[in-house]
């Protein structure tokens, strides 16, 4: 049983006004010339404050960005994506970054990285479980992933709701992952052994849960400050 309290109305109105103001900051004539200029301004500017592109990316970064947009079914014809990517790489190279501040001392850090299987999946909210596994959400490909750091093995499962856009993720004290499905009014619980979703629909069809938090007694709070009185019990009564 969900008990929902919404606090986002005023903040949402402010965000919409701010976003409209940001979009008003640019005009098409301000962007570099190129065969994809008009397509870029009309399509990308329809959803984003495209002034953000001014910070630039590496060529590899732009390949990832354009792949994310393809995963989101951005309305660019498939045959035009190579030209769009080339335009972005040429027009908006990565800008110089501030120099790192080197701190004195004996600190030693080992960083290990793993490539996720799906390019442009936009992995979110990695969390470590008690067994050492790492879970994350693949927002733009509708998936949840599990990594075994010892073997490097990765397992993926797909949300049963199309375009649910899994986003925030938390793991409760029993080792059960919970995810916020940003593209649907749903919260999902994952059976880590069976690798299966169990979805719970929020009371408001307009709800878009984004982030999750857990209290010490496993109450679950999602990004709209809605609260579960208790996580629903497993069907076998053990949860």
- pLDDT tens for the chain, 239 residues long, are 334 333 343 333 333 333 434 444 445 557 788 889 888 888 887 777 777 788 899 999 999 889 888 887 888 999 999 999 999 999 999 988 888 888 888 878 888 999 888 888 888 899 999 999 999 999 888 999 999 999 999 999 999 999 888 988 999 988 999 999 988 889 999 999 999 999 999 888 888 888 888 887 777 776 654 444 344 444 444 44
Helix residue ranges, H only, the chain: 9-23, 37-39, 59-71, 81-91
Q: Tokens 């992995």 belong to which residue?
A: 123
Residues 185/209, Cβ–Cβ less than 8 Å: yes
Pairing of strands 177-181, 166-171: antiparallel
Which CATH code of 2.130.10.10, 3.20.140.10, 3.40.50.300, 3.30.1360.120 fits the domain covering 123-228? 2.130.10.10
- Distance between terminal CA atoms of the chain? 15
Please state whether 184 falls in left (phi above 0), alpha (psi between -120 and 50) or beta. beta
Numbered ranges of CATH 2.130.10.10 in the chain: 123-228
pTM of the model: 0.62
Q: Tokens 């397992």 belong to which residue?
A: 155
Give CA 106 to chain center in angstroms: 35
What is the model's pLDDT at position 229? Answer: 39
Nearest Cα neighbor of 53 from 96, 98, 89, 17 is 89
């Amino acid at each position: 049983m969900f008990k929902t309290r919404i606090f986002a109305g005023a903040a949402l109105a402010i965000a919409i006004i701010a976003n409209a103001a940001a979009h008003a900051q640019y005009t098409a004539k301000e962007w570099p010339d190129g065969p994809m200029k008009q397509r870029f301004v009309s399509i990308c500017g329809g959803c984003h404050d495209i002034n953000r592109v001014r910070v630039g990316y590496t060529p590899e970064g732009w390949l990832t960005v354009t792949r994310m947009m393809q995963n989101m079914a951005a309305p660019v014809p498939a045959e035009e994506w190579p030209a769009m990517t080339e335009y972005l790489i040429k027009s908006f190279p990565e800008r110089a970054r501030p120099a790192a501040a080197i701190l004195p001392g004996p600190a030693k850090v080992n960083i290990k990285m793993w490539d996720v299987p799906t390019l442009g999946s936009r992995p979110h909210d990695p969390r470590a479980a008690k067994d050492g596994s790492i879970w994350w959400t693949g927002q733009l490909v509708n998936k949840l992933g599990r990594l075994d750091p010892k073997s490097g093995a990765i397992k993926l499962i797909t949300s049963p709701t199309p375009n649910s856009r899994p986003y925030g993720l938390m793991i409760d004290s029993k080792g059960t992952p919970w995810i916020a499905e940003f593209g649907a009014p749903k919260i999902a619980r994952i059976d880590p052994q069976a690798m299966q979703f169990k979805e719970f629909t929020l009371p408001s069809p307009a709800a878009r849960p984004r982030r999750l938090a857990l209290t010490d007694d496993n109450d679950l709070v999602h990004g709209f400050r809605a609260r579960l009185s208790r996580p629903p019990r497993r069907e076998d009564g053990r949860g």
